[in-house]
C-alpha cells in the first residue's frame, strides 16, 4: 500500500494551494469613468488593489482591483491592510530560521519567498529552475511538519507551567492562612486566660 506525500485534508480546503502565495493589498488610484464624463475631466478614486505572487515565480504577478473572494482568500493580509499594518508577513520569517543562511534569505527574498510557509509551498517546477531550492523546500516542509506535530506538546508544557505557578501561589496562600489561623487561636487562648 502506498502512502500519500500530501495532506489529504487539503482537498477539502479551498485555499490549500495558497501557502506558497504572497498577497498584498494596497490603495491605487483608478479612474472613475462616470464622474469623469459628468465633470469633463479625469476623476480618480482610491481603490483597494491586490497583488498576488506565487513564491519563486516573479514573472507571474497579478495586480487588479481586490474582489470579495480575494478578501476572503487572503483574510489575514486584508485584515492587516485594513488595520494599517500594510505588507505584513504571515508565517515564520526566513530571517528567524537558523538553518537558512543570510545569503539564502536574500536570494529567496528576491524570488518573493519571505516565510517558511511560502518556501514549503513553492511549486516543484519553480524549484527546478534554481539550484538547491528543492532541498530548502523539503527542509521547510519537514520543519513545518515537526512544528505542527509538536504544537500539542508545546501547549501542554505551557499549561503545565501555568498550573505549577498556580499551585505555588495557592501553597503560599495556604501557608499565610495557616499562620493567621495559628495567630488567631493563640489570641483566643490568651483572651480566655484573662
CA distance 89 to 165: 34
Q: Is the pTM of this model over 0.75?
A: no
> What's the per-residue H, E or C state across 25-94?
EEEEEEECHHHHHHHCCCCEEEEEEEEEEECCCCCCEEEEECCHHHHHHCHHHHHHHHCCCCCCCCCCEH
Show Cβ contacts of residue 96 under 8 Å, excluding neighbours closer than 6 positions: none
Cell of residue 78, nine digits: 486584508
Residue 8 confidence (pLDDT): 47
Q: Name the burial class of residue 25, with classes exposed (0-12), middle (13-18) and buried (19+) by CB atoms within 10 angstroms of its CB.
A: buried
Residue 11 confidence (pLDDT): 44
Q: With contact defined as beta carbons under 8 Å apart, do 148 and 165 qualify?
A: no
Residue 13 confidence (pLDDT): 47
Low-confidence ranges of the chain (pLDDT < 70): 1-19, 39-43, 85-90, 151
Q: pLDDT digits over 119-140, tens only? A: 888 888 888 888 888 889 898 8
Residue 65 confidence (pLDDT): 92
Cell of residue 15, nine digits: 485555499
Residue 114 confidence (pLDDT): 80
- In the three-class reduction of DSSP (H, G, I as helix; E, B as strand; rest coil), residue 132 is classed as coil
Q: pLDDT digits over 34-67, tens only? A: 877 776 666 677 788 998 887 777 777 888 999 9
- In the three-class reduction of DSSP (H, G, I as helix; E, B as strand; rest coil), residue 21 is classed as strand
Nearest to 90 by CA among 103, 102, 80: 80
Show Cβ contacts of residue 143 under 8 Å, excluding neighbours closer than 6 positions: 97, 99, 116, 120
Amino acid at each position: 500500500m502506498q502512502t500519500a506525500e500530501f495532506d489529504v485534508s487539503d482537498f477539502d480546503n479551498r485555499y490549500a494551494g495558497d501557502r506558497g502565495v504572497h498577497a498584498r493589498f494596497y490603495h491605487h488610484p483608478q479612474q472613475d469613468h462616470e464622474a469623469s464624463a459628468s465633470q469633463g475631466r479625469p476623476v480618480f478614486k482610491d481603490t483597494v488593489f491586490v497583488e498576488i505572487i506565487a513564491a519563486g515565480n516573479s514573472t507571474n504577478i497579478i495586480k487588479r482591483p481586490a474582489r470579495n473572494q480575494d478578501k476572503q482568500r487572503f483574510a489575514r493580509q486584508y485584515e492587516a491592510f485594513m488595520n494599517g499594518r500594510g505588507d505584513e508577513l504571515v508565517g515564520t520569517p526566513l530571517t528567524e530560521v537558523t538553518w537558512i543562511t543570510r545569503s539564502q534569505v536574500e536570494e529567496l527574498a528576491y524570488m518573493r519567498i519571505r516565510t517558511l510557509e511560502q518556501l514549503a509551498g513553492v511549486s516543484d517546477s519553480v524549484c527546478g529552475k534554481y539550484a538547491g531550492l528543492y532541498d530548502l523546500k523539503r527542509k521547510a516542509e519537514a520543519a513545518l511538519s515537526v512544528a505542527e506535530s509538536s504544537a500539542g506538546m508545546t501547549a501542554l508544557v505551557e499549561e503545565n507551567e501555568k498550573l505549577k505557578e498556580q499551585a505555588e501561589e495557592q501553597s503560599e496562600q495556604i501557608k499565610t492562612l495557616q499562620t493567621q489561623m495559628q495567630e488567631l487561636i493563640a489570641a483566643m487562648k490568651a483572651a480566655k486566660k484573662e
